[in-house]
Amino acid sequence: MLTNTLKVLFKKLKIKIESYKNESTIWEIQKGIANFAGNLCLHLIGNLNTYITPALGKTNCSRNRALEFSLKDIPRAFLLTKIDATQVAAGNALDSLGQ
């Protein structure tokens, strides 16, 4: 059940990143929001790769949290690739719990 919830959340994250008509607006502050959408995406991926994947999936993760908030103008395609890779790794880690 948790894996299915995670899949839905990843799908929603991808839809949000894909919904920016102009790729550069992923890296603009929107009214009422303190962080760039791209940085929030990187931070979410960093959290999942730090706390779920290594702990449950027994994989290694090297994280640079400061970069999650300082990187800018990363191509949308890179973000989407990272979302997909994190979904697979986190899904495998959660699936391993049932074994």
The pLDDT value given to residue 48:
85
Largest CA distance in the chain: 46
pLDDT in tens, 36-93: 999 999 999 998 888 877 655 566 667 889 999 999 999 999 999 999 998 888 887 7
**pLDDT confidence band for 21 (50 / 70 / 90):** very high
pTM: 0.84
Neighbour tally for 54: CB within 10 Å: 15
Range of the domain at 54: 2-98
